[in-house]
């Protein structure tokens, strides 16, 4: 009984400590300096984005299947829409249709900065064309949205970069560092060794160019509005991206005619393997990135959420347990496993001699393809083959205290007092990863305010972007270039 009372007292003390901690867990006082207002032209941007979408710059794993005429037309459009850029910057075309613009700075001894974007878009899935409210390559402007493939991924970003540079040239701005605009043409397929982004990076490497910082797609500004809990806008800056690996996992058996089957065919045995793989997930952990995200959101939320967010040290295990049950949260805390394909024998009356599944793993930074292989071998046991089909290790993690990160953070907060900025892990792949060999500060962020619901239209039906998000995005890019092209 004495122990029980002791336990109760301890629990009481703990509870009081955690609740008191939450009282003081408020947004940190961070200085935001006054920025000069920027002159931006959202109307010109709006018209140009609309036209940019009408060029069907669709990429394909096989470049022979790509219509490069569309890319040429897109390039002529850029030249027409942004005459000062084409007068003042040097333009180079590499690897089929990728573009490198160089804006010479005053001091060539400084490391340049680079703004990336990809020109290509994904095709429209078969049988879904009629589902679109406005045709996908119309660039239709209904007064609220610009519609079409690439509106979010990522002609919006490309045209905003062009718009901002053109606008700075109109103001006779001259950067101190060189500013590069690098627009790949095959990000969506990224299949070949000579992909646009890789070729651009090789070009830089051959010239001995090291970049100070790189900005590509990845994060956005997400309105986070839960009644009574939080009402903020979360600007997620992608500082890393997950790796991926496809493994073929196979079981062999005797085979033969299906009229005399054994107790378990190769497929039957494989079913057991699938069960083992799915029930032995990778270890989950709250990475420093996740902790900082909790911290940023927690400090801006209502008291009960703050009480949780400031006591992660105590609540780590229940938080992990809950996150593991929610797929969009689970993928942020561990390497994920998805069994996606299966193969048996070639005919209904033939026992398979070899049965295989393909599993797709999305790898957390800090783990490698080799770790995934070891994990599979440990989980499936003897007599099962695991063969890597293809894969790429996760990216490095770019620092959250670099000059570039601090600038992005400050500019975001300067534009709206409700903007909170946090580093996060990007789930998909981007061109940015290729730049790690020549740059330590690689960030993935597109400064457009877009709801989660709209973000889901990327690669899907009715992709569109809210016109209301343009002014802030254009201001961001101008400030970003001004600030980071400095010494």
- Residues in contact with Zn ion by the rule CB under 5 A: 153-154, 217
Residues 6+ apart with CB under 8 A from 302: 228, 229, 230
Please state the closest distance from residue 97 (CB atom) to Zn ion, in A: 16
Strands 113-118 and 90-94: unpaired
Integer Cα distance of 469 and 125 in angstroms: 27
Q: Which is nearer to Zn ion, 323 or 442 (CB)?
A: 442
Identify which of residues 154 and 168 has a Cβ nearer to Zn ion in the complex: 154
Nearer to Zn ion, 265 or 446 (CB): 446
Contact 169, 84 (CB under 8 A): yes
Residue 455: HSE in the Cβ half-sphere, 13 Å Cα cutoff: 13
Shortest distance, CB of residue 187 to Zn ion, whole angstroms? 6
Contact between 359 and 338 under an 8 Å Cβ cutoff? The reply is: yes
Tokens of 458: 């990327």
Helix, strand, coil percent values for the chain (each to nearest 5):
40, 25, 35
38: phi then psi, degrees, rounded to nearest 5: -100, 140
CB nearer Zn ion, residue 216 or residue 410: 216
Give dist(CA 70, CA 328) in Å, integer.
36
Nearest to Zn ion of 154, 380 (CB atom):
154
Report the nearest approach of Zn ion to the CB of residue 57 (Å).
12
One DSSP character per residue, 120-147 reads -BPPPPTT-GGG-SS-TTS--B-SSEEE
Residue 448 beta carbon to Zn ion: minimum distance, rounded to whole angstroms: 13
Residue 153 or 463: the one with the smaller Cβ distance to Zn ion is: 153
Smallest CA-to-CA distance from 447 within 166, 162, 222 is with 222
CA atoms within 13 A on the CB side of 308: 15
By beta-carbon proximity to Zn ion, the closer residue of 220 and 386 is 220
Closest to Zn ion by CB, 70 vs 345, is 70
Residues in CB range of 290: below 8 A, 6 or more apart: 332, 333
Report whether 274 contacts 366 (CB < 8 A).
Answer: no
Residue facing Zn ion at closest CB distance: 153
Nearer to Zn ion, 153 or 367 (CB): 153
User: Looking at beta carbons only, is 40 or 154 nearer to Zn ion?
Assistant: 154
Q: How far is the CB of 351 from Zn ion (least distance, A)?
A: 45
Both tokens of 274, joined, read: 């699938």
CB of residue 459 to Zn ion, shortest distance in Å: 9
CB of 37 to Zn ion, least distance (A): 31
Tokens 């669709």 belong to: 58
Q: At closest approach, how far in Å is the CB of 34 from Zn ion?
A: 34
Q: Helix H segments across 252-390?
A: 266-279, 288-299, 303-309, 312-325, 327-330, 369-380
- Give least dist CB 10 to Zn ion, A: 52
Question: In whole angstroms, how close is the CB of 153 to Zn ion at the nearest point?
Answer: 4
Instruction: Provide the 10 A C-beta neighbour count for residue 230.
Output: 17
Tokens for 478, please give them.
Answer: 């101008």
* Residue 426 backbone dihedrals phi, psi, to 5 degrees: -85, 130
At its nearest, how many Å lie between Zn ion and the CB of residue 211? Answer: 20
Cα–Cα nearest to 192, from 58, 360, 372, 59: 59
Residues 6+ apart with CB under 8 A from 294: 286, 309, 312
Nearer to Zn ion, 118 or 177 (CB): 118
């Amino acid at each position: 009984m004495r122990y029980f009372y002791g336990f109760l007292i301890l629990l009481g003390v703990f509870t009081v400590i955690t609740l008191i901690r939450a009282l003081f867990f408020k947004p940190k006082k961070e200085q935001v300096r006054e920025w000069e207002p920027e002159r931006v032209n959202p109307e010109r941007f709006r018209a140009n984005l609309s036209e940019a979408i009408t060029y069907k710059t669709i990429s394909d794993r096989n470049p022979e299947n790509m219509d490069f005429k569309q890319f040429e037309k897109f390039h002529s459009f850029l030249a027409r829409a942004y005459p000062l850029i084409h007068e003042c910057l040097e333009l180079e075309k590499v690897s089929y249709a990728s573009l490198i613009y160089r804006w010479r700075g005053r001091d060539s001894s400084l490391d340049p900065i680079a703004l990336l974007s990809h020109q290509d878009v994904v095709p429209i899935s078969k049988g879904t064309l009629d589902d679109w409210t406005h045709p996908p390559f119309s660039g239709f402007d209904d007064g609220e949205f610009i519609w079409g493939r690439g509106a979010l991924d990522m002609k919006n970003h490309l045209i905003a970069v062009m718009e901002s540079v053109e606008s700075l040239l109109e103001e006779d701005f001259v950067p101190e560092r060189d500013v590069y605009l690098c627009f790949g043409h095959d990000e969506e397929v990224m299949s070949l060794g000579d992909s646009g982004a890789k070729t651009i990076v090789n070009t830089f490497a051959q010239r001995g160019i090291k970049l100070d910082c790189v900005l590509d797609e990845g994060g956005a500004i997400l309105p986070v509005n839960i009644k009574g809990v939080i009402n903020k806008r979360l600007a997620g800056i992608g500082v890393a991206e997950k790796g991926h690996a496809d493994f073929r996992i196979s079981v062999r058996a005797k085979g033969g005619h299906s009229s005399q089957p054994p107790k378990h065919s190769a497929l039957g045995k494989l079913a057991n393997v699938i069960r083992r793989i799915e029930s032995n997930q990778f270890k989950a952990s709250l990475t420093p990135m996740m902790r900082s995200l909790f911290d940023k959101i927690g400090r801006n939320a209502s008291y009960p959420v703050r009480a949780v967010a400031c006591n992660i040290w105590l609540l780590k295990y229940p938080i992990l347990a809950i996150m593991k049950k929610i797929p969009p949260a689970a993928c942020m805390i561990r390497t994920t496993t998805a069994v996606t394909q299966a193969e048996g024998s070639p005919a209904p009356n033939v026992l398979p001699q070899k049965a295989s599944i393909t599993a797709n793993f999305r790898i957390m930074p800090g783990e490698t393809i080799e770790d995934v292989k070891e994990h599979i071998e440990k989980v499936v046991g003897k007599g099962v083959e695991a063969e890597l089909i293809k894969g790429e290790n996760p990216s490095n993690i770019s620092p959250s205290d670099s000059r570039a990160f601090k600038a992005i953070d400050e500019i975001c907060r300067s534009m709206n007092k409700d903007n909170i900025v946090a580093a996060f892990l990007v789930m998909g792949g981007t061109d940015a990863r290729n730049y790690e060999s020549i740059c330590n500060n690689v960030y993935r962020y597109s400064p457009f305010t877009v709801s989660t619901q709209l973000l889901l239209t990327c690669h899907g039906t009715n992709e569109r972007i809210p016109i209301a998000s343009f002014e802030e995005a254009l201001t961001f890019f101008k400030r970003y270039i001004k600030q980071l092209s400095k010494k």
